[in-house]
């Protein structure tokens, strides 16, 4: 197997030298690399599943016996949703040159349809095996919501997979995600739009979601003009742990540059309000009601554990406002109840137990404004509670943005998992080793695995509890 890994690294390095490596700047889904696939790429196999999903398969002539099942990220309703089998063209080209087969589906619908995605992905794997025979090794991997789908495959259908790679995934699970989503919206409305009745949940349609978006965005814009408003915006961002550095095209602010950090958080919150409401409405439609609650939630306690606490305290001190009074106002604001049937739907679509039975490596950027890196801590705790920590490794890339991995960083994660499956024990997955491996596989980019320990997720939820 050592010889196979060496050949993999050489082939991927050769392929990487022929394409331009780009950062993936996805929003709840992978960006498509603008570089065209190699002219030598094998012909594709495409088709339609009984549920209406389309699928795509690329199997190289030098297939090494391993198939990678890729799960793509969230696609909003009424947006084109083609089948995808890799996070970028560069990654696909490199893996094909190394002999890996790659498959994936579109899923049967858009929006928050995790159960349908699980079924479509398994059906795609069935189609592959019927046409090409059983793979020697099957690996599931995915980005963003596709990382969540991959984790669902790992926990619920582990007998089909030898291991999994999750990237920038919603590892906190659906219930925790939507609860924290409502926390931030709740704080924006209570602190910045006093007296507003803009609905945050039980949105009857996209028109209602967009109306609430417009009202809360206007409140954010007005608040950004004053020191008091900026302090409150930072507090709302702290409940979601929105990082100080959110755009990879901009320089990282100094640790004590709270003003630049706040401006970055403000811009991230403006985007979050839109997706947090319009995508919520789509999810509620699938769930049949509201899946979130904040009854009994102590926002003072959440703030006390936030990675942004020091920044918020300094901004409040400069503004002349009382942080204690604003936290008290949140405590006194009318709370939101959930619809039990909708919560059950989100447990199925999908929340986690942490009961891994095959190895998983999970990677995340530290400056992710859309799926904050603390989601990794939530899953690590679930896995620890289940007594399965030996099966999980997590890596952190010091970069802003959602899913902004280099080609080499993603390939290094696949390589590390491949080694774990073959050897029965994890290789060195320290940041330095992963960066050296990424540089071997993709010498055209600068790689940024780094030591990092995420703080607690604001609203943890997993099924063992």
Contacts for 169 with CB less than 8 Å, ≥ 6 apart: 142, 143, 144, 145, 146, 147, 148, 150, 151, 362, 364, 371, 375
Residues 347-384 have pLDDT tens digits of: 999 999 999 999 999 999 999 999 999 999 999 999 99
Confirm if 319 and 233 have CB atoms less than 8 A apart. Answer: no
CB count within 10 Å of CB 100 equals: 27
Mean per-residue pLDDT of the chain: 91
Place of tokens 């039980």: 202
* Distance between CA atoms of residues 299 and 177, nearest Å: 16
Measured between alpha carbons, how far is 363 from 422 in angstroms, rounded to an integer? 20
Per-residue confidence band for 304, with pLDDT thresholds at 50, 70 and 90? very high
* Coil, helix or strand at residue 69: strand
pLDDT-derived band at 21 (thresholds 50, 70, 90) equals very low
Closest to 374 measured CA to CA, from 450, 307, 461, 294: 307
Q: Which residues pair with 164 in a beta bridge?
A: 140, 360
| pLDDT tens per residue, range 152-161 | 999 999 999 9
Omega within 30 of 0 (cis) for the link into 454: no
Q: Is the pLDDT of residue 230 over 70?
A: yes
SS3 (DSSP) at 170: coil
- 343 Cα distance to chain centroid: 21
Contact 88, 32 (CB under 8 A): yes
User: 79-127: per-residue pLDDT in tens?
Assistant: 999 999 999 999 999 999 999 999 999 999 999 999 999 999 999 999 9
pLDDT attached to residue 16? 41
Structural tokens at position 6: 């060496």
Closest CA to 56 of 66, 36, 78, 71: 71
How far is residue 2 CA from its own chain's centroid?
32
CB 49 within 8 A of CB 124: yes
**DSSP element (H, E) containing 55:** strand 54-58
What mean pLDDT is predicted for residues 314-336?
97
- Single out the residue of 49, 42, 106, 100 nearest to residue 75, CA to CA: 106
pLDDT given for residue 322 in this prediction: 97
Q: Which of 89, 66, 242, 22 is nearest to 165 (CA)?
A: 66
What is the rounded distance in angstroms from the CA atom of residue 100 to the CA atom of residue 298?
49
Span 410-435, mean pLDDT? 97
CA distance 401 to 247: 5
Give the burial string for 181-220 (b: 16+ CB within 10 Å, else e).
Answer: bbbbbbbbbbbbbeebebbbbebeebebbeebbebbbebb
| Confidence band of 275 (pLDDT split at 50, 70, 90) | very high
Entry pTM: 0.90
Going from the C-alpha of 365 to that of each of 280, 313, 370, 378, 396, the distances in angstroms are: 24, 25, 11, 15, 6
Please name the residues in contact with 195: beta carbons below 8 A apart, sequence gap of 6 or more.
Answer: none
Model confidence at 190: pLDDT above 60: yes
Q: Please give the pLDDT value at position 461.
A: 86
**pLDDT band per the 50, 70, 90 thresholds, residue 42:** low
Tokens found for residue 25:
């700047």
The predicted structure's pLDDT at residue 463? 80
pLDDT given at position 41: 52
Q: What is the pLDDT of residues 395-414, one digit of tens each?
A: 999 999 999 999 999 999 99
Band the pLDDT of 40: cuts 50, 70, 90: low
- How, if at all, do strands 137-143 and 101-105 pair? unpaired
**Angle separating helix axes 258-287 and 227-238, nearest 10 degrees:** 50
């Amino acid at each position: 197997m050592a010889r196979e890994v060496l050949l993999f690294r050489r082939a991927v390095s050769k392929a990487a030298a022929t394409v331009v490596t780009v950062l993936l700047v996805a929003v709840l889904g992978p960006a498509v690399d603008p570089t065209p696939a190699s002219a030598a790429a094998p012909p594709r196999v495409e088709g339609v599943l009984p549920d209406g999903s389309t699928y795509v398969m690329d199997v190289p002539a030098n297939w090494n016996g391993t198939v990678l099942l890729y799960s793509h990220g969230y696609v909003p309703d009424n947006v084109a949703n083609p089948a995808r089998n890799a996070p970028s063209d560069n990654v696909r080209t490199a893996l094909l040159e190394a002999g890996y087969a790659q498959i994936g589906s579109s899923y049967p619908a858009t929006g928050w349809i995790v159960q349908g995605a699980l079924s479509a992905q398994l059906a795609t794997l069935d189609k592959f095996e019927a046409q090409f025979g059983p793979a020697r090794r099957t690996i599931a991997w995915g980005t963003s919501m596709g990382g969540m789908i991959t984790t669902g495959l790992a926990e619920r259908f582990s007998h089909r997979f030898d291991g999994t790679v999750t990237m920038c995934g919603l590892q906190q699970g659906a219930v925790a995600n939507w609860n924290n989503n409502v926390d931030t919206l709740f704080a924006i409305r209570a602190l910045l739009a006093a007296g507003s009745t803009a609905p945050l949940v039980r949105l009857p349609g996209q028109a209602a979601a967009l109306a609430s978006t417009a009202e809360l965005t206007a409140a954010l814009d007005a608040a950004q003009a004053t020191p008091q408003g900026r302090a409150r915006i930072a507090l709302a961002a702290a409940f979601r742990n929105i990082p100080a550095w959110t755009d990879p095209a901009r320089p990282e602010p100094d640790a004590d540059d709270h003003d630049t950090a706040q401006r970055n958080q403000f811009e991230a919150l403006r985007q979050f309000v839109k997706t947090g409401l319009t995508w919520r409405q789509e999810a509620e439609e699938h769930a049949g009601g509201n899946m979130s609650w904040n009854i009994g939630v102590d926002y003072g306690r959440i703030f006390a554990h936030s990675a942004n606490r020091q920044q918020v305290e300094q901004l409040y001190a400069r503004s002349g406002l009382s942080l204690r009074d604003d936290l008290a106002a949140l405590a006194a604001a009318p709370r939101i109840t959930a619809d039990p049937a909708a919560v059950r739907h989100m447990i199925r679509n999908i929340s986690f137990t942490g009961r891994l039975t095959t190895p998983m490596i999970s990677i995340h950027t530290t400056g992710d404004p859309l799926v904050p890196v603390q989601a990794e801590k939530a899953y690590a705790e679930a896995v620890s509670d289940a007594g399965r920590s030996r099966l999980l490794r997590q890596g952190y890339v010091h970069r802003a943005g959602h899913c902004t991995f280099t080609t080499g960083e993603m390939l290094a994660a696949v390589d590390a998992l491949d080694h774990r499956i073959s050897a029965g024990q994890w290789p060195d997955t320290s940041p330095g080793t992963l960066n050296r491996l990424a540089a071997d596989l993709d010498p055209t980019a600068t790689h940024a695995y780094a030591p990092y320990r995420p703080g607690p997720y604001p609203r943890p939820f997993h099924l063992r509890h």
